[in-house]
Each structure stands twice: as structure tokens, then as C-alpha cells.
Structure 1
Amino acid sequence: MTDNTPHRTTSAKLIVLDMAGTTVADGGLVERAFERAAERLGVEPGSADHTAKLQYVRDTMGESKISVFRHLFGAEDLAQRANSAFEEAYGELVQGGLIAPLPGARETIEKLRAEGRTVVLTTGFARITQDAILDALGWQGLADLTLCPADAGGRGRPYPDMVLAAFLRTGAVADVRESVVVGDTAYDMLSGVRAGAGIVAGVLTGAHDGATLREHGATHVLASVADLPAALEPQREPGA
């Protein structure tokens, strides 16, 4: 007997979405905030040290920011100072209105939740910055849950901790393979793969290109998060 019912690789009931570059367009604010923070710590603009540090920030988009600053500044006290200065600078830019939702992002989240899916927004920023972004966009309460690295033990991406925290806290699915992880960076892809998510989708609205996303484990590459609901529609098996 032929099974004519639609099939999908996962029930996709838990959707874990990155923010900056995936659902939120920050217009290069990460780099601008880093430059402000670095200057406050005495890194001279235009110097070789400044150029090298800025390139590292670009290369590690998606990683927990405190981890980035630990690598750049070494000593924990300097890393914490740099992180605090960065978060303050980023918050100032957000309050200045220099942030916006990516086209279709809000509608996508609303559609996914209307379909009975649980949506979690994650970030590599600290909670104070995440809340500033949510407030600026009017997104408080838009998702079922929001998580930052501190909410999941302190480790951000590429560790799987935030995805697993979403799995544990929401209880939305019985199997982590029923989770979907979506982001714009290699670190997002790695965190989804390491967590065991059934779908790890990269979007082309942020830091990394399709080849990089696939290289780090993307099962799907989408033009934007607005394409996610269609990608999760049940697909018939060939010949069904």
C-alpha cells in the first residue's frame, strides 16, 4: 500500500532563531560598537592592533561576545571591561534607532506560533542588550522564550547550550531532533549540529555566505527567515 500522507524530516515544533543578522538587521552595529569599546580601552583607531582585532570580530560573528573579548584581550578583567564597554556602546546605538527587523521576520514568528510551534529567540549578547533590542523593536512577548548565553550556563555559540536550554525549558518536543535552528553564521550552524537539531537552516541576510553555512552543517540555506515557514511545510516523498 502506498502511503499518500505528507512526510517531513522533523515535526519542527521547536524553532530556535538567532537575532542579529537572522531576524534583526543591525546595519553593522556590532562593528561600530566594537570600535567604540576598543577605543575606550586604549586601542588606537587605525592601528595594526585595531585592524587585527576588528577582523577577528568580523570572523567570529555569532559567537558569544564575552568569548570574543577573552580571546582579544586575554586577561579576564580586561575582557570583562571590553565586554561591558561593547554592550554599553551597542545599547547607545540601539537607543539611537539604528536597528530594525529584517523584512518578514515578525510575520514569520507570528505565523510559526499560529501553527502551534514554539519559537525561541537567542543571541550572543548579554541580557541587557538583548532586552534593549527587543524593547526597541517592540518584540517583548513576540516569542515564547528569549535566551542569552547567561541563561544557558554562560557559554554561547558555537556551544549547543542555548539550543539545549530551549529544548529543556520549553518542553515543546520530546526529541531534540524535532528542533529547528536558524541563523546567519557558521557558529549558529555548529550550535545546531552539536545540539542534534533535525533541521539547521542558514539564512543569507547576515554574516556568512551559503558555502560557509553548508560547510558548518546547514541542512538548508534560505534567502531569509521569511522563507522558513514554506521550508517547514510537509514534503511528499518522491513517487508518493
Structure 2
Amino acid sequence: MTKPTPRRMTARTIADELRVQITDGTLRPGDTLPTSRELAERFGVTLKTVGSGVDILKGEGLVIGEQGGRRRVRANRPIVWNLTRFERGNRRDSAAGDDWSTAIRDAGREPEQQVTVSTGEADSQIASWLQIPASAEIVQRVRLRTVDGQPYQLATSSFPMEIAAGTPLLGEGDVSMPGGILASIGHPQLRVRDEITIRMPTPEESDQLQLPPGTPVAEHVRIGYGEAGPVRVMVTIAPGDRHRLVYELEV
């Protein structure tokens, strides 16, 4: 009876075995992977092969590298982002924070938002969403949203200048008002349309959101409509490993 031929260990098989350990919980979120030398001895391969195997897991977003050469199983605490309730009906904005910040605090987490404001011409996509002429003047408020000190969302809200002129929408910093700014200035959102795209991030998004390689993002576009048409479009970039998107619909 012939003995079975031992399986040849490659970078792919090493990645497969480590992936199983991550999936079944043997290696838990936040755990440090064995060193390259330990893995090389375990699998009977070279350090280069080990490195290639770990790189596969980095590319899949399962493992992150740290200073000093350590590699850890990625550990994030996702937030539940209920898009049915978000900004709907009786908004929970106040001087202490907007509807998003309130929801994060309700979940026992600590929100913070860094806001920058600019004016300029609408590009063709924003003009289409807002139903305004291309190159019409708009106001943009860009929010880098963090949870417990970690970047979680990059949200860019665009408003037609005819709505934003002379209002708190031009104010610097994290401005929030009871009921929302749009309602307070006489342009409440009466309905919204959502568009969600799953894609890989741009280099700029990866840098701003501190994304490990291989992390996809959800691009959530919410167009808010008033009585006469769109009053705002918000484009939110949300890392896939930090969010669970929820919709609740009546059927």
C-alpha cells in the first residue's frame, strides 16, 4: 500500500489554513499571528512563502500589519446604521449633536465629527442629483465621522447655493440644530432616495478612513427632496468592516 503524497505547502495553502482558524475562532479578532519563523517551522516552508501567504490575508482584509512587524487578526466593532430611521420623521438633532451622533451615543459609543465647509461649482454628478445646471454654485459640508476615536464615515453633503446662502449651512464646524438645519431654515426634507454601491476605496478614501488593504466600502447616496425638488445630496463612504446597514420596510 503506497503512502499518500504529503500536501505541498504553498502561500495559498498557508493562507487557507490560517483563514480557517480565523473563521472558526481559533484566532480571534485582535489576536497576534504567530511569527514568520514560527509559521515557517510549522508549515515547513521558507520565510518568503510565509510572507506571501500572510499577504493574501492582508489583501482580503482579514489581517493587518502593525509597527514592529506584528500581524493581527483585524478587530473592529461595527456600528448598526439603521438607514430607515436615520434622518426620518422626528429627527433627534440638538445643540449637542446631529441625528447620527445621537444614535451613536445611544449605542454606548463616543462620536465625533470634523467638519470642513467650502463653496464651488457642482460637477455633473452632483448637478444631476440636485437637478441644477452643471457648474451651478453649491455649498459642501464634509464630515469625517469617528467612533471611539476611529474613523468610521466620510460624509459629503452638497446644497444648492440658493438654499444655503445666508444660513448656518455656511457656518464652520459641527453645526446642528433641533429638527435639522434644513428644517430650521424652511427647507425640510419631505422624502429621500437612497442609492448604495459597494466598491473598493480610492487612495484618498483609504488614507482618510485609515483602511487596511483589501477593505471595501459602501457608498451611500441619500438625496433629500423638499416641496420643489432636491434640497441636499449626501454621499457617505462607509468601510465595510465597520458597518451593518439596516432597512426596515413594511410589506
TM range (shorter): under 0.3
Structure having the higher Rg: 2
When normalised by structure 2's length, the TM-score is 0.26
**Larger strand proportion of the pair:** 2
When normalised by structure 1's length, the TM-score is 0.26
Higher relative contact order structure (alpha carbons within 8 Å, sequence separation ≥ 6): 1
